[in-house]
Structure 1
């Protein structure tokens, strides 16, 4: 193998490692990242106002979208105000929505918010990264009459 061939081979291998390595090392968001994003979202709402913040949260590829982690905001009545993955949910009242196991997860979330300033909730939902229904742990903070939430899958 010539020096030039070895250099090209090593460069190609390094490019492959740099491309694949980081994606597999941190393919999915962590609980710590979910908490941090929700806290950032709450500050963003307070600084920018509801309309600007909700539009930003609902924009795929925006600053509140990271791998399988995104922000949702729901009123305590179950109405979706912002959703980082499903724009078709915005404006809908999902208080009676059930996960695949029959859990009324939006109602449960609203009930949890009535008694807690922040909380974790577990239910099943479609993971946008894998396109499979998986266990989701959702971290939420109550802000006025809303829940600001971000969750992680498969925990």
Structure 2
């Protein structure tokens, strides 16, 4: 009985902490889940699912982007016109080369955050956004959270 109680208590703590994860923590976990799948040999499946707006990788404002190591878009659920393009020299509304910064972080330290402004697909407005970037094998994975 005591073992059952301890198990239920631990489960309850785990569920409550997951329910209160910050948007940044949720974003990191989301990208790391994709990285685990890429590392397990499912890179092409992840790319196909992202481009098909599969609910695993597209959750409204939270969505996965997949680039190759040079910064070319392999998958983007909200803007298919970006596929095959790098856009590294295209800045945000304030002139920040956030796409280049994303590639530099991935190919440098392997992971990190990039702050910039981007059109929110839910609101249609340009908003401040933080993008978590993670290198997984030969691709760059990222997802962002609007502030």
Query: Do they fold alike, i.e. is TM over 0.5?
Result: yes
Cα offsets for 1:11-54 (capped at 9, x unmatched):
xxxxxxxxxxxxxxxxxx81111111101111122235322110
| Pairing 1:32–2:17 present | no
Tell me the TM-score normalised to structure 2 length.
0.78
Which of 135, 147, 151 matches 2:144?
A: 151
| SS at 2:27 equivalent | helix
- Name the SS for the 1:50 alignment partner: helix
Q: Which residue number in structure 2 is paired with residue 101 of structure 1?
A: 94
Selected match of 1:66 from 47, 59, 62: 59
On the 8 A contact 1:79/1:91 being kept in 2, the answer is yes
* Unpaired stretches in structure 1, ≥5 consecutive residues: 1-28
Paired residue secondary structure (1:49): helix
Deviation at 1:106, TM superposition (A): 1.0
Q: Which residue of 2 aligns with 1:54?
A: 47
Q: Which runs of 5+ in 2 are unaligned?
A: 1-21
The answer (yes or no) to whether the contact 1:77–1:95 under 8 Å persists in 2 is: no
Partners of 2:84 and 2:125 lie apart in 1 by 25
Superposition RMSD in Å = 1.8
Mapped to 1, the partners of 2:27 and 2:137 lie a distance apart of 20
The equivalent of 1:26 in structure 2 is none
Cα deviation code 1:54-75 (max 9, x no counterpart): 0111222521111200000112
Match of 1:16 in 2: none
Report the 3-state secondary structure (helix = DSSP H, G, I; strand = E; otherwise coil) of the residue aligned with 2:56. coil
| Runs of 4+ in structure 1 over 6 Å off | none
The number of residues matched between the two structures is 127
